[in-house]
Amino acid sequence: MDILFLTLPLALILALIFIGIFIYSVKLGQYDDLDTPSYKMLLDDEKDKTKNELKGKDL
Partner 1 sequence: MASQSHCEHCHEKIIIPVFLSDEESDIVFCCEGCKTVYEILQEKNLTDYYRLREQTAQTNPTAVKISGQKYKYLDDPEFKQKYTIISNQTLQITFYLENIHCLACLWLIEKLPEINHEVLNSKLNMSKSTVDITLLEDAKISQIAQQLESLGYPPHPIMEEKELKEHKIKEDHKDLIRIAIAFFSTGNIMLMAFAVYAGATGHIEKYFNWISLFLFFPIIFYCAIPFYRNAFSSLKNKLISIDLPIVIALLFGGTFSLFSVLNDDTHIYFDSLSMLIFLLLTSRFLLKKSQQKGLEASELSNFFTHLIAYKVEDDQTLKEVNAKFLLPNDIIYIYPGDTIPADAQVIQGTSKVNNSLLTGEVIPQPIQAGEYIFSGTINLDQELTAKVIHTGQDSKLGQILSAVEHGWNQKTKIVSLTDQIAKYFVLGVFLLSFFVFSYFIFQGRIEDAFIRTLTLVIITCPCALGLTTPLTLTISLAKLAKKGIIIKNELVLEMTNKIKNIIFDKTGTLTHGKFQVIKWESLDRSNYFNVIYQLESKSQHPIAKSITDYLKAYYLDEIKQSLELTHYTETPGIGPSGTVHNDFYELNQIKAEINSNTLIGLYKNHMLVTKIHLSDSLKPDAYNIIKKLKNLNYNIYLLSGDNKLSVQKVASDLEILPQNTFYEQSPQDKQEFIKKTPNSMMLGDGANDAIALSFADIGVAIHGSVDISLRASSVFMATKDLQNILRLLISGKETLHIIKRNLIFSLLYNSLGLILAIQGYIDPLAAAIIMPLSSFTVLASTLIGTKKLRQNLS
Reduced to 3 states (helix: H, G, I; strand: E, B; else coil), residue 3 is coil
Minimum distance from residue 24 beta carbon to partner 1 (Å): 10
Secondary structure (DSSP) of 20-41? HHHHHHHHHTTTS-SSHHHHHT
Amino acid at 17: I
Minimum distance from residue 47 beta carbon to partner 1 (Å): 14
* Residue 58 near partner 1 by CB under 8 A: yes
Q: Which residues contribute to the site for partner 1 (CB under 8 A)?
A: 1-2, 4-5, 8-9, 11-12, 15-16, 18-19, 22-23, 26-27, 29, 31-36, 39-40, 42-43, 51, 54-55, 58-59
